């Protein structure tokens, strides 16, 4: 029996994924909205963690290194609406074993779970090749942002204040302001709204 823990704060998605995956009688699925993530992982002791990148109160990309630090052997599959073009390589480098976009049929998620539990990586075509020096991804403006900058940008886009972001990431307000200035400069735009537009363009790729 393979124990799977799904971290997603949308109850309908949790229900649909649990019902689909448990059609395989060797899968046992528990779900959580992401609160006290590390404690929940310790309690459930899953073989596979399915993790959304956008959760209330936490950011999946930012959480990945901490999860791997505490649970280095845990297999992790990213299940998200965020674009693979921007996030798949980042999550691979942060320790994930697979990446599936929520736009795909749930059968694709089932297949990815089976592959990862068998010891394989499961990423969109071309992502693994990007790790070689000869196969670097094309740098769009948003792709120039660091993982932490991208995390801050996603929080800002969700309407979080500097203080809320600083508290979530255990940083100072001044650091968040510095990130905002740096992101604008890197992307060559003058306002956060323009940054959000670039992020939306990336989502459409």
Q: Would you give the distance in Å from CA 164 to the centre of its chain?
A: 20
Reported as half-sphere exposure (CB side, CA atoms, 13 A), residue 139 has a value of 6
Full DSSP string of 55-122: ETTEEHHHHHHHHHHH-TT-EEEEEESS-HHHHHHHHHHTT-SEEEETTS-HHHHHHHHHHHHTT--B
**Mean pLDDT, range 57-78, rounded to an integer:** 90
| CATH 1.10.10.10 boundaries in the chain | 142-203
pTM of the predicted model as reported, rounded to 2 decimal places: 0.82
The predicted model gives 93-122 an average pLDDT of 95
Q: What is the mean pLDDT of residues 119-144?
A: 72
Read off the pLDDT of residues 163-185 as tens digits, 9 standing for 90 and up: 999 988 888 999 999 999 999 99
Q: Where in the chain is the domain with CATH 3.40.50.2300?
A: 2-131
Q: Which CATH architecture has domain 2-131?
A: 3-Layer(aba) Sandwich (3.40)
Look over the chain and give the mean of its residue pLDDT values, rounded to a whole number: 89
Which CATH number is 142-203 given? 1.10.10.10
**Considering only 8-12, 56-60, 114-118, 196-200, which range has the smallest mean pLDDT?**
56-60
Distance, CA of 137 to CA of 182 (rounded, Å)? 21
HSE on the CB side for 112, CA within 13 Å? 28
Q: Using 50, 70 and 90 to split pLDDT, how confident is the model at 130?
A: low
Is the backbone of residue 57 left (phi > 0), alpha (psi -120 to 50) or beta? Answer: left
Can you tell me whether residue 40 is helix, strand or coil? helix
């Amino acid at each position: 029996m393979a124990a799977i823990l799904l971290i997603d704060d949308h109850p309908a998605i949790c229900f649909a994924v649990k019902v689909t995956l448990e059609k395989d009688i060797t899968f046992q699925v528990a779900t959580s909205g992401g609160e006290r993530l590390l404690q929940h992982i310790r309690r459930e002791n899953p073989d596979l963690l399915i993790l959304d990148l956008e959760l209330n109160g936490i950011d999946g990309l930012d959480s990945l290194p901490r999860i791997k630090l505490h649970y280095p052997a845990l297999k992790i599959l990213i299940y998200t609406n965020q674009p693979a073009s921007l996030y798949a390589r980042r999550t691979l480098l942060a320790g994930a074993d697979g990446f599936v976009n929520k736009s795909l049929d749930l059968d694709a998620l089932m297949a990815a779970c089976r592959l990862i539990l068998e010891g394989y990586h499961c990423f969109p075509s071309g992502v693994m090749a990007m790790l070689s020096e000869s196969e670097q991804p094309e740098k769009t403006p948003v792709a120039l942002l660091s993982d932490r900058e991208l995390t801050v940008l996603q929080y800002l886009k969700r309407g979080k204040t500097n203080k809320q972001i600083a508290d979530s990431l255990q940083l100072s307000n001044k650091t968040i302001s510095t990130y905002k200035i740096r992101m604008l400069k890197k992307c060559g735009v003058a306002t956060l709204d323009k940054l959000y537009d670039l992020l939306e363009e990336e989502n459409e790729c």
